[in-house]
Amino acid sequence: MENIKVILEKCTGCKLCVKACLFNAIEMVDKKAVIKDNCNLCGACVEACKSQAIQISKKSAESRLSGRGSEEKDLSAYKGVWVFAEQREGKVIPVTYELLGEGRKLASLLQEELSAILLGDKLDGVPSELIACGADKVYFASDPLLSHYRNEFYTKVIVDMISQYKPEIFLIGATTTGRSLAPRIAARIKTGLTADCTGLDIDTEKKILLQTRPAFGGNIMATIISPNHRPQMATVRPRVMKRCAKQDSRNGEVINVKPQLSGEGALTEILKVIKVEEKVVDLQEADIIVSGGRGLGRAENFSIIRELAEVLGGAVGASRATVDAGWIPSYHQVGQTGKTVGPKLYIACGISGAVQHLVGMQNSETIVAINKDPNAPIFNVATYGIVGDLFEIVPLLTKKLKINGVRS
Amino acid sequence: MDIIVCIKQVPDTASLHTLKINPKTNTLMRDTAPAIINPFDENAIEEGIRLKEKYAGEVTVLSMGPPQVEKALRDALAMGADNAILLSDRSFAGADTLATSYTLAEAIKKIGKFDLILFGKQAIDGDTAQVGPGVAECLGLPQITYVRKIEIENGKLRAERTLEDSFELVEAELPAVITVTKEINTPRYPSLKGIMKSKKAQITIWSLKEMSIDSDRVGLEGSSTQVIRIFTPEMRSKGEILQGTSEDVVDTLINKLRERKVL
Amino acid sequence: MDYFLTEEQKMIVELTRKIAREKITPVVAHHDETEEFPWDIMKLLAEADLFGVYIPQEYGGLGGGVFELSLVTEELSKVCGGIAICYAATALGTYPILLFGNEEQKKKYLPQLAKGVRLAAFALTEPNAGSDAAGIQTLAKKEGEHYILNGTKQWITNGGEAEVYTVIAMTDRARGARGATAFILEKGMDGFDFGKKEKKMGIRASATRELIFTDCKVEASRILGKEGIGFLVAMKTFDASRPGVAAQALGIAHGALDDAVKYSRQRVQFGKPISSFQAIQHILADMATQVEAARALIYATARMIDKGVKDIARESAMSKLFASDVAMKVTTDAVQVFGGYGYMREYPVEKRMRDAKITQIYEGTNQIQRNVIALQLIKEAAKGK
């Protein structure tokens, strides 16, 4: 491998890197680490090595860029923090306010402006609300074609705005819309994009955005930078960042952007929007979640989970095993291949706590685990653990909450 | 209907049933996980095969990675894909989603003939969900993400796209790029005959040279993002195991939850 | 223990284990409770080509033999002995065609059976003829080019669900055992009906019914081999199928052992997991040893059969006898390790114990197996071997 090397004099043969590698890409030869071809340069070994014996380097990004003068960008021309104000049916969704809160922090660190990017149609009053919630400026593109998210139109309008106004940082909520839109924009303007960030900061010396996100299902965290491209783009996980307090007296500027769109540019047509008939509780927005796992034994037993959830006014979650077994529809699934949740209270019933599940719920404020196996890994993350038969404990809990009322 | 399914081989972190915590440092100890096809990509392969069975044509699975990724491609062939192409070159290593999207898109241009490109909605290692839209952009094709149902009518594609609280019925011309959720189908098991056939199948391998593409836009060199730090997240500290009879523990629990104002 | 399986055998085990773990585990309790036939699972096994592992390639199978069949049955039985027998009983119904069918019959039936699009069953037992097969009363009376069948077969596994049946009937009662003939029948033939579904102690996922023949007209081309060799067909079929029953017993036992080991590490008494008590350790050690001994005997026998050794009655009977006795003992011990929980239907081991019992009874009771073994011993001694 050209980009990664082991400095043999420094390598002590301690094998920490071998353990750190998720790809089995390091082996020991004569007590020295050797990087194999299947290395994907993730950098986990560099972090693990106590003797700084592993280095990952590029050929030198600067020389490469200067070698292609035409593509060289004047990075200093890019100023300000942008957040995408996602709206659905005219209503701004909660993550937007979280982005404004976080954007405010970053903008202060950079001593620059915070702007909200709003696309839609008939959104009177929304720009001023965005200003009250932290934006210095609102770039507002209004057009009937933008009323509902359509990738090709949104991408075009935002890319045009970026090339005109040159933001330094652009944050987008990691919603289905955000995660579909951001990579398309990033690929068009050929800039870096970090997905699903849970932590953002500024390296005030170099003035670059430090983007921290979980990877490998939350087994590791990675901090990522995009030093040579602008804007530095990130999608941000909902319910992680703090909103800033709303101040109706805040002043700001609304810049009306005239979108250059025509219906003929459509690549897709939205024929209709189907509302889910069944009352789907959005797990990601729920304050209380009661989840069932393999310990339930069969589909019918989910009834005891539902009963407890109902008494608590919470949502029903499920482990992957139960979804795979067809006991419950997959939109209830919590975990790596399901939803990542962070409620105030998470009650795990008969869930052993495979890594796949834990990464989806360990950010919950309070976790209660009920499992008959005292060695179940779920107890490692539980605030309160009950070792016992869920068929006894859960109905008893439901009964007592019913009789005495949920709130004291 | 010729379909290209882009797949990724990932460490099966989900198969690790226990989180081991180093009691001294309170950090996570990782076992080495076996390599598998990214689970959402299995849904994409299944959907490709179903569409092929319905509308005829061929399914080509495409992946980028080290030679070991052949295993994932063979597994896809065992399920019923017709051809497999692996983009493998040392210079592809360390690619971020931008460089990966470019490389895959160039390979798709080289394949030339296709009506539909399928992806899983995201990979379970990186969880970025960026490469599908990235490839769509590089090819200038319509994209429909998070799809739970696909139908083809009069040469047009109709897809149900999953949103947070609803579904969209979206129509697009072919060719198009689709990323699928796990609701779309249940991936089949490979058959024994399929496995045997896949063991003997020829896998096409393209290196940088064979693709004749810009080496500055692939791998680490072509990546606009850099990982500067990798660390293990702080684990939650182990809480309290409630003791006593069922009556006792349930009462204690309710009291504790009330004290914490969770209830 | 490493039995040095071939690549192909490892592949079969791996795939079966994956399907069993992912798809059968979640429905075990459901099928045990509802006694519903596991068609969904049969379809999965069929799509995976598992019904063809023991059928020659020229008939659409994978070209393996009794060993491969046993491996699949064992893996399925580790998860559910009831679902496993739905699969294995098809093999029991297929073996007579494999062993005695003419080319035309093989071409007609084996490809479908190998694909698993149709299930098979074998019908010998009658209300008054169990171990004493010579007591068969179902009569096949010759009328021109046809035979007219009348009578009732009892406790036929896969009865009603299967479409292809190998049925043993008397064509010449006067000749006793030499007057029996094997026929291939199909569901839907006139005069071929099914009785009620039996309610069983265990293996409840499987269907057990009577086959009722009322003036059922059967062409002579449906005879397997020739007239008068029905008992030979049955005996040779059993010789080949007994390792399969043994493998079912082995799987059930192994599953119970795994459950018991896991539970003993979870269950805490006197402040320690019960696995730390020697009393429990010794039970587990005995369970494991018996399971491994059964496996060694079955695998060795299956390999012998597949190598073409003709005289296999003794080894085949030993496998079935030993493995099924082990299954009964090991599952009973597993319930003991679980204590009170083991007796509760919420926990999986009492079902394994119920499933295990049948393996000591069907395809020849263990008493009959001992007769077979002893007879072979005495024969050999008489020959001065």
**Domains of chain B, residue spans:** 3-217
Give C139's strand partners: C150, C170
For residue A214, what pLDDT is reported? 85
Q: Does the pLDDT value for residue B30 go beyond 80? A: no
Task: Please tell me the pTM assigned to this model.
Answer: 0.85
Q: What is the largest CA-CA distance in chain B?
A: 71
Q: Tell me the nearest-neighbour CA distance from C338 into chain B, angstroms.
A: 20
pLDDT of A346 higher than 60: yes
pLDDT, tens digit, 9 for 90 and up, residues A302-318: 999 999 999 998 999 99
Q: How many Å apart are CA C292 and CA C286, to the nearest integer? A: 10
Range A4-60: architecture per CATH: 2-Layer Sandwich (3.30)
Is the CB of C268 inside 8 Å of chain A's CB atoms? yes
Distance of CA B120 to the CA centre of its chain: 5
pLDDT of residue B212: 87
Length of chain A, in residues: 408
Quote the ipTM score: 0.89
Question: What pLDDT shows up at residue A45?
Answer: 85
- Where do runs of H (alpha helix) occur along C80-155? 81-100, 103-115
CA distance A254 to A389: 59
Query: So what's the pLDDT on residue A325?
Result: 81
CA distances (Å), origin A61, targets A228, A257, C50: 8, 35, 55
Instruction: Give the tens place of pLDDT for each residue, A202-255.
Output: 998 888 999 999 877 676 788 999 999 999 999 998 888 888 889 999 999 999
What is the arithmetic mean of pLDDT over A359-375? 90
Q: Is the pLDDT of residue B120 over 90?
A: yes
Q: Å from B195 to nearest chain A CA? A: 23
Q: Which residue segments constitute the domains of chain C, with CATH numbers given?
A: 7-119 (1.10.540.10), 121-228 (2.40.110.10), 231-382 (1.20.140.10)
- What pLDDT does residue A393 have? 95
Task: Name A345's Cβ contacts closer than 8 Å, sequence gap at least 6.
Answer: A287, A288, A289, A312, A314, A364, A365, A366, A367, A368, B257, B262, B263
Give tens-digit pLDDT for A143-170.
Answer: 999 999 999 999 999 999 999 999 999 9
What pLDDT is recorded for position B6?
A: 98
Kindly determine whether residue B221 and residue A59, on different chains, have CB atoms separated by under 8 Å. Answer: yes
The residues pairing with A32 across neighbouring beta strands, listed in sequence order, are A29
Summarize pLDDT for C131-161 with one digit per residue, the tens. Answer: 777 789 999 999 999 999 999 999 999 999 9
Does B228 score more than 80 pLDDT? yes
C-alpha span between A339 and A330 (Å, rounded):
10
**Helix ranges restricted to H, A212-301:** none
Higher per-residue confidence, C233 vs A46: C233
Low-confidence winner among A70-79, B93-102, C189-198 (lowest mean pLDDT):
A70-79
Tell if the CB–CB gap between A375 and C265 is shorter than 8 Å: yes
B259 touches chain A (CB under 8 A): no
Kindly tell me if the per-residue pLDDT of B4 is higher than 90.
Answer: yes
Interface check for B29 against chain C (CB to CB < 8 A): the answer is no
Residue with tokens 């482990």: A319
pLDDT, residue A61, reads 46
Identical fold at A4-60 and A283-401? Answer: no
**How close does chain A come to C279, measured CA to CA in Å?**
21
Chain B, residues 188-217, CB within 8 A of chain C, namely 188-196
Angle between helices C39-47 and C81-100 (to 10 degrees): 50
Q: Is the pLDDT of residue A59 over 70?
A: no
Chain B to chain C Cβ contacts (< 8 Å): 28
Average pLDDT per run of 10 along chain C, which is 385 residues long? 94 96 93 96 96 97 96 98 97 97 97 96 90 85 95 96 97 89 97 95 97 97 95 92 96 98 92 95 98 98 95 94 98 97 91 98 94 94 82
Amino acid occupying residue B105? A
Residue C20 CA to residue C277 CA, distance in Å, equals 32
Which region holds residue A166: left if phi is over 0, alpha if psi is between -120 and 50, else beta?
A: left
Please give the pLDDT value at position C228.
93
Degrees, nearest 5: CA angle C4-C9-C14:
105
Q: What percent of chain A has pLDDT over 90?
A: 56
Q: Is the pLDDT of residue A72 over 60?
A: no
What is the number of helices (H) and of strands (E) in chain C? 12, 10
Q: Which runs of consecutive H residues, i.e. helices, occur in C193-312? A: 230-266, 278-306
Neighbours of chain C (3+ CB pairs under 8 A): A, B
Q: Is the Cβ–Cβ distance between C242 and C317 less than 8 Å? A: yes
Per the prediction, chain A carries an average pLDDT of: 88
Answer whether A379 touches B (CB < 8 Å): yes
Residues C166 and C119: beta-carbon distance below 8 Å:
no
For A132, the enclosing helix (H) or strand (E) is: helix A126-132
A75-263: in CATH 3.40.50.1970: no
Inter-chain contact C346–A324, Cβ cutoff 8 Å?
Answer: no
Contacts of A245 (CB under 8 A, 6+ apart): none
Q: Any idea where the domains of chain A sit in the sequence?
A: 4-60, 75-263, 283-401
Record: contact A373-C26, CB cut-off 8 A: no
Q: Ramachandran region of residue C165, left (φ > 0), alpha (ψ -120 to 50) or beta?
A: beta
pLDDT exceeds 90 at position A62: no
What CATH class is the domain B3-217?
Answer: alpha beta
Residues 139-198 of B with CB under 8 A from C: 188-196
Question: How high is the pLDDT of residue C220?
Answer: 95
Confidence of residue B39 (pLDDT cuts 50, 70, 90): very high
Which CATH number is associated with domain A283-401? 3.40.50.1220
pLDDT at A199 over 50: yes
Helices (H), B158-245: 192-200, 208-211
Active site (catalytic) residues of C: 363
Span A56-82, mean pLDDT? 64
